[in-house]
Amino acid sequence: MKTEIRFALFLAALQIGATLFAPAASAAAARSPLPDTSKMNVLFIIIEDCYAGVWGSYGNTICQTPNMDRFAQSAVRFDRAYVQAIACNPSRSSFLSGLRPLTSGVWNNGQVMSERLPPGTVTLPEHLKKKGLHTAVIGKFFHTTDYARQQLMAFDRIEHYQPPPGWSGPPPILKFPSEPRAERAPPAKNKKSPEYQAWRRKQSDRYGDSGKAPEAEGDYRIAQTAVALLGDFAKSKQQFFLSVHQSRPHTPLIAPKKYIDMYDPAKIPAPPAPPSSLKGCPYPKRMTGGNPDIFMTGQPTPQQAREAIAAYYACVSFVDDNVGRVLAALDQQGLTDNTIVFVMGDHGFHLGDHGFWSKYSMLEATRRAPLWVRVPGAAGNGRVCREFVEFVDFVPTLGELLGFNVAPNLEGISFAPLLANPDRPWKTAVFQVQTPAEQMVRNQRYSYLEFKDGPVPAALYDLEKDPWEIVNLAEDPAHAKTRTEMAALLKAGWKAALPKR
């Protein structure tokens, strides 16, 4: 009984349960047209390592996110938005190019995007520059500057992010007191060395009080820089694209003390899907061993797990305050009625379910990410879309909204129609890649993971009965037909799952 209570509480807190898997409306209402968006600005906010179920608007009753909860009332909240890769570099390479990982050539963090994209690929900032928008980026956009030197040259202004060689934009709009520089990492070629691993643990494997005032944090300063730039844009009246980054809740899970004090670890439910409950998990080593980024040398105690989740919540509340300042500035500068706003996580994050922490899996906590989109005057604002969308759809969506042409080889489609009518029937499945030999497909009821070289060749989960993907049904004779159908769906690929036009 105690286990059931804990599980129920956690579902209430993190909300991947029944709400996530509720079926879409059986009949879509007539499509309402979108307003003319071709001259609108774009505010593009990326929150790093962000689990969808942590937000109040996604059903979390513990984590305090009043600013994004308020924004959700004026935007379309996408309940089933999925990334195409398991980590930052491949996910961003995909949604900023409109290509899936096997085409972009990027499926892990070590692959240099600019060396692997197909010749002639035009990324989002390059499209926007050609369209004539004033382009500005504050904080991380592509994975690193070295991975995207040519693509970053499309930005007129670069703040809080190392410009590429040869870029000659303006100096920072604001000056902040200097902070101690982070400890220099050992050479990258020694990533497997004990010295490098010790450095990485010191940088990433911790949680709690950052020891800084909010005003000294990089994410706060990024938000303040965005506020200043919005003031400039309001005066110039030039059509702009502004990307704003928030590094939290990426590890280390540290935040100013005022946010840490908001959460009592004793009131945090234990994570669901503990390793002891799993059957046929496709990631057996990770269930009981170390994790990437945090708890790297072994599993946490129950108390440490609660403390880490509380710290994650603190990081999210800090981010919520920062994003709230940016959205308030949009209002104060009179830009809200002419600015399209995207707010998203670049992928999800495990908070102890399955014994997993951080990302790097094809399970629901990693593949599903938060996404809110507000188009001024759109009929869908204030509603929830439970249709499938994929992050690879961003470039064609912005192409339709702003009126620029995209290449015919893009592997996403514009979901602009859902911004007018969120109940319109849409894609029947979504896809993700871990490596060329490890791929995933999920439809409304099932998720299917295939591992050609893994300890488990395949995993099949009934998401209606088992939303936390606890029991692998791939070898169950009663589900042999479903496994065959899902394997065929994966092989057929994304084009077979497109909506009927």
What is the average pLDDT across 179-208?
A: 79
Q: 182 falls in which pLDDT band (50, 70, 90)? A: low
Region of poorest pLDDT, from 126-130, 285-289, 477-481: 285-289
Within a domain: 470: no
Indicate if the pLDDT at residue 25 is higher than 50: no
Phi, psi of 241 (to 5 degrees): -120, 125
What is the C-alpha separation between 139 and 243, in angstroms, rounded? 8
Region of poorest pLDDT, from 111-115, 286-290, 391-395, 416-420: 286-290
Indicate if the pLDDT at residue 34 is higher than 50: yes
List of residues 6+ apart from 300 with CB closer than 8 A: 308, 352, 357
**Residue 194, pLDDT score:** 81
Q: Kindly report, residue by residue over 121-176, the tens digit of the pLDDT.
A: 999 999 999 999 999 999 999 999 999 999 999 999 999 999 999 999 999 999 99
Q: Fill in the DSSP letter of residue 274.
A: -
Identify whether 408 is preceded by a cis peptide bond (ω within 30 of 0): no
Based on the number of CB atoms within 10 Å of its own CB, is 235 exposed (0-12), middle (13-18) or buried (19 or more)? exposed
**Residue 178, pLDDT score:** 86
3-state secondary structure of 351: strand
Within a domain: 476: no
Q: Return left, alpha or beta for 133; rule: phi > 0 is left, psi -120 to 50 is alpha, else beta.
A: beta
Could you tell me the residue range of the domain that residue 357 belongs to?
Answer: 2-23+36-428
Within a domain: 400: yes
Within a domain: 465: no
User: Dihedral of the CA atoms 267, 271, 275, 276 (nearest 10)?
Assistant: 50
What is the C-alpha separation between 425 and 492, in angstroms, rounded? 20
| Helix or strand run (H / E) with residue 357 | strand 357-358
Indicate if the pLDDT at residue 492 is higher than 70: yes
**Residue 20, pLDDT score:** 36
Within a domain: 435: no
State the residue for tokens 């060689």: 165
The separation between CA 306 and the C-alpha centre of its own chain, rounded to angstroms, equals 23
What is the average pLDDT across 94-118?
A: 98
| Residue 430 and residue 94 in contact, taking contact as beta carbons nearer than 8 Å | no
What is the average pLDDT across 340-353?
A: 98
Mean pLDDT rounded to a whole number for the chain: 92
Domain count, the chain: 1
List of residues 6+ apart from 148 with CB closer than 8 A: 113, 114, 123, 141, 142, 164
Indicate if the pLDDT at residue 259 is higher than 90: yes
Please report, for residues 9, 311, 401, 416, the alpha-carbon distance to residue 339 in angstroms, rounded to integers and kept in the order given: 38, 33, 11, 15
User: Dihedral of the CA atoms 154, 159, 165, 168 (nearest 10)?
Assistant: 70
**Residue 394, pLDDT score:** 98
Name residue 247's amino acid: S
Pairing of strands 438-442, 157-159: unpaired
Pairing of strands 446-451, 458-462: antiparallel
Please report, for residues 64, 388, 489, 496, the alpha-carbon distance to residue 492 in angstroms, rounded to integers and kept in the order given: 42, 17, 5, 6
Within a domain: 481: no
What is the average pLDDT across 431-448?
A: 98
List of residues 6+ apart from 202 with CB closer than 8 A: 183
| % the chain with pLDDT above 70 | 92
Within a domain: 231: yes
Strand partners, 432: 440
- The CA radius of gyration of the chain, in Å to the nearest whole number, is 22
Indicate if the pLDDT at residue 13 is higher than 90: no
| Residue 389 and residue 427 in contact, taking contact as beta carbons nearer than 8 Å | yes
Within a domain: 462: no
Region of poorest pLDDT, from 13-22, 183-192, 218-227: 13-22
Query: CATH no. for residue 93?
Result: 3.40.720.10
| Residue 9 and residue 54 in contact, taking contact as beta carbons nearer than 8 Å | no
CA angle at 63 for the pair 57 and 67, rounded to the nearest 5°:
55
